[in-house]
Amino acid sequence: MEKMELKFEQLVLGPLSTNCYILFGPNDFSIVIDPADRAADILAVTEKEASPLVAVVLTHGHFDHIGALSGLTVPVYVHSADRPFLGMEWNQHSECRDLEEGEIILAGLRLEIINTPGHTSGSVCVRVGNHLFSGDTLFKHGVGRTDLPGGSMIQMQESLQKLMRLPLETIVHPGHGPATTIEEEKQENMFL
Binding site for Zn ion (CB under 5 A): 62, 64, 136, 175
The smaller minimum CB distance to Zn ion, of residues 107 and 124, is found at 124
The smaller minimum CB distance to Zn ion, of residues 3 and 145, is found at 145
Burial code (b: 16+ CB inside 10 Å, e: under 16) for 159-171 equals bbeebeebeeebb
The smaller minimum CB distance to Zn ion, of residues 119 and 127, is found at 119
The smaller minimum CB distance to Zn ion, of residues 39 and 107, is found at 39
Least Å distance between CB 120 and Zn ion? 7
Least Å distance between CB 18 and Zn ion? 5
Least Å distance between CB 139 and Zn ion? 10
The smaller minimum CB distance to Zn ion, of residues 36 and 107, is found at 36
Q: Residue 77: helix, strand or coil by DSSP? A: strand
Least Å distance between CB 34 and Zn ion? 8
For the chain, report the end-to-end CA distance as a whole number of angstroms. 24
From the centroid of its chain, how far is CA 69?
14
Least Å distance between CB 14 and Zn ion? 9
Q: CA–CA distance from 174 to each of 11, 45, 46, 141, 165 (Å)?
A: 12, 20, 21, 11, 17
Q: Determine how β-strand 76-78 pairs with β-strand 96-98.
A: parallel
100: CB partners within 8 A, 6+ apart: 79, 113
